[in-house]
Chain A
């Protein structure tokens, strides 16, 4: 299996073999973070630019740590303090970064498709760190990595994704990735937060939290993004918690060893109760640790593929 993509834009276009390669490479990289000297020289002399058009701490820091553990130099650009404020277009910003001889741009953008657009215009690598409501591939990869570590496999497992499915790039990437690797995915949310035609992605749809939890080997709880509720249409916070919040009581009816995940940051008392977030089933902090290994693998693979023609698999 050869990796020949200079960019990672989403999981939709990846093959099963490519997904498995990333996950197994990440498995090898995980050990690096347990060393006394947490650094390998694999990307020595390479420059990684974190270009973030949306506020993000955990994803940006995770990419920064990953790049530094590979010995790359890292530059962070927060667009609030950059010439983007002066009206520079995305492609111009990208070309300027390319002219600095950077090797990889890690980008978070509020528009769906922004990463793909930038990648088309540049020769250097673009890694999508979240674009609008479209995809957040490395988050889904770290979720899948954690699930595989906990459950031993992805084939045939039942994963329920609970929360704001409509606005969630994390849900979308997870659905693409998990279904390709043979997991059964259920999405669960109040009807207003379920996008039309989501069932065409090969998932089971329900608004009944008990149904979502009853057979699940794992539940991935999404953050309620109240900041996106411009039309004031979401259920109110307490109402949401009452009907969909993951509590110890609700988990009593689920499998004993159900894996509880959350991409963070958690709204305690809205998506889940504190005793669940800190409880024995929660792997939320392990997700953070695994995120480093997954992002190291992604940065390593796209850097290896540079200089080769981008081959579209179709």
Chain B
């Protein structure tokens, strides 16, 4: 694995999240009826951070939940993948809420497809929007993000790594070359 470039550092990452928080509030005209749901693993931490940004700006908290999409993956039965199932933690009702789904990297769109299926099993939200820190292109499904921290054009043999203080001890986004 060779590191090619650092596309976001700590400050840039934090500014991106603050901007996304403002955009979410602008588009939805405030925090009323909003909730954030982060996709495990890093999406969950990003959702929590966006939640605090929104609370700081709007002085109103929004419920934040965590979604584990393992059981909804479309490659579950393929040999070689043996994912660990973690808990989904959504302790509020999403019916008639505007759900902002949060993930770190938008790539093929398959994770988001799985997350949409999972969310709908929890109730019927008024709307679902998508916020991602990085959109790296190469979609395989007709899915797009409503809020993007940074668009990073990539080649397929590259990998975008989002590192967060909570899991990796540092806040940064880097592009690395996949080892063959």
Chain B residues, Cβ within 8 Å of A305: 82
A41 with B82: CB separation less than 8 A: no
> Beta-carbon contacts of A33-65 to B below 8 Å, as 1s and 0s?
001110111100100000000000000000000
Residue A3 CB within 8 A of the other chain: yes
Residue pair A35, B121 in contact (C-beta under 8 Å): yes
Selected contact of A35 from candidates B82, B85, B86, B122, CB within 8 Å: B122
Q: How far is the CA of A40 from the CA of B70 in the complex (A)?
A: 10
B118 contacts which chain A residues (CB < 8 A)?
A: 40
Instruction: Report how far A28 CA is from B118 CA in the complex, Å.
Output: 14
- In contact, A39 and B85 (Cβ under 8 angstroms): no
Contact A37 B88 (CB under 8 A): no
Q: Are B82 and A3 in contact (CB under 8 A)?
A: yes
Q: How far is B122's CA from A36's CA once the two chains are assembled, in angstroms?
A: 6
Is the CB–CB distance between A29 and B123 below 8 Å?
A: no
Nearest CB in chain B to that of A297: its residue: B85
* B87 CB contacts on chain A under 8 angstroms: 27-28, 31
For B71, list chain A residues within 8 Å (CB). Answer: 32, 40-42, 70, 300
A297 to B118, CA, bound (A): 18
Question: Which residues of the other chain, B, contact A267 by a CB distance below 8 angstroms?
Answer: none
- For A200, list chain B residues within 8 Å (CB): none
Supply 11 A–B pairs (Cβ within 8 Å), ascending by A. Answer: A2-B82, A25-B84, A28-B68, A28-B86, A35-B121, A36-B121, A39-B121, A40-B71, A40-B121, A307-B79, A308-B79
Check if A304 is an interface residue, CB within 8 A of chain B: yes
Q: Which among B72, B84, B89 is the interface contact of A40 at CB below 8 angstroms?
A: B72
- State the total of A-B contacts with C-beta under 8 angstroms: 45
For chain B, the bracket of interface size reads 10 to 19
Q: Chain B's nearest CB lies how many Å from the CB of A246?
A: 34
| Chain A CB within 10 Å, residue with most, of B68, B84, B117 | B84
Q: Is the CB of A37 within 8 A of B85?
A: no
CB distance from A216 to the nearest CB of B (A): 30
User: Complex Cα distance A3/B84, Å?
Assistant: 10
B76 close to chain A: CB less than 8 A: yes
> Cβ of B70: which chain A residues have Cβ within 8 Å of it?
42
A40 cross-chain contacts in B, Cβ below 8 A = 71-72, 118, 121
Query: Are B76 and A42 in touch, CB under 8 angstroms?
Result: yes
In the A-B complex, list the 6 residue pairs whose CB atoms are closest, starting with the nearest: A40-B71, A42-B71, A37-B121, A28-B85, A28-B87, A25-B85
B38 to A: closest C-beta gap in Å:
16
Contacts of A284-314 to chain B: CB distance below 8 A: 297, 300, 303-305, 307-308
Q: Which residue of A lies closest to B81 (CB)?
A: A304
